[in-house]
Amino acid sequence: MTRDLTLHQRRRPPTAQELDGIPWLRLLSDKEREHTLPRIVVGDAETGNAVCRIGRDPTYWFGVVDGLLKMNIDTDKGDSLTFTGVSRGGWFGEGTALKREPYRYNVNALRPSVVAGLPIDSFHTLLAGSIGFNRFIMNQLNERLGQFIAAREIDRINNPDLRVARNLAALVNPVLFPGVGEVLDITQQELGYLVGLSRQRVNVALKRLEEAQWIRVSYGGIRVLNLPALRSHTLSHT
């Protein structure tokens, strides 16, 4: 059965629409794009499927065409520590791909997702010869550094409302996740997994953020009304 196959075994050529969702392709020259397109594959990940595992050598550089992934590690106490979510349009693991070192984290699908992969050798070929690709990777690394500095700050925040706010801001980062836009397609349960809070507590936090007019919760997801406020360090009525 298809569900019994690994994500790698389920890989297939991308559709034209899926290719349109890969942000760095438009930065390549015609010759670079012609060389790269046949090498990109996609896989349909089911909820819980592993995209990356700790200790495995990288074979692809990955991105999310659609869906939501979670980057985490398992602690010595048996708990799971989540670093970040990876939403639509986001590519990740460039540091691991650059160094060709084993993964130091796990990445799993939080929901059915379409994951794209560029073979590691093709990644290095573009890195060696494409100015546009190099700029994309530099922007990724710079933004990623800021993201993880912010994540350390989030760990020190005891206010659940602000923890939810920072995580929402990270998930709609326009540089790392250009496919999201202003409306984030995420459930309260999924947000709880990423933040480390119960769905009920996330619901309370979202109501507080909505009262502050930072977001608007709708059936289709969460609309960000004030991204700078989500990234700030105060909530006026806490």
Per-residue pLDDT 10s for the chain (238 aa) are: 455 667 878 889 999 999 999 999 999 999 999 999 999 999 999 999 999 999 999 999 999 999 999 998 876 676 677 888 999 999 999 999 999 999 999 999 999 999 999 999 999 999 999 999 999 999 999 888 877 766 666 666 678 898 899 889 989 988 899 888 778 999 999 999 998 899 999 999 999 999 999 999 987 789 999 999 998 756 654 4
Q: List helix spans (H) across 102-225.
A: 120-129, 131-155, 160-171, 188-195, 199-211
The first and second tokens of residue 80, run together, are 């799971």
C-alpha to C-alpha distances, 229 to 169, 171, 222, 233, nearest whole angstrom: 9, 14, 15, 8
Write down which residue in 101, 132, 150 finishes a domain: 150
140 and 165 co-located in one domain: no
Split into its structural domains, the chain has a count of 2
6 and 121 co-located in one domain: yes
145 and 195 co-located in one domain: no
Is there a domain that residue 238 lies in? Answer: no
Query: DSSP state, 164?
Result: H
Contacts of 31 (CB under 8 A, 6+ apart): none
40 and 137 co-located in one domain: yes
State which residues form the domain around 213: 158-231
Instruction: Tell me the whole-structure pTM to 2 decimals.
Output: 0.85
Please state, in angstroms and rounded to a whole number, the distance separating the CA atoms of residues 45 and 53: 14
Write down which residue in 150, 184, 200 finishes a domain: 150
Please state, in angstroms and rounded to a whole number, the distance separating the CA atoms of residues 140 and 123: 14
45 and 88 co-located in one domain: yes
Chain-centroid distance, C-alpha 125:
24
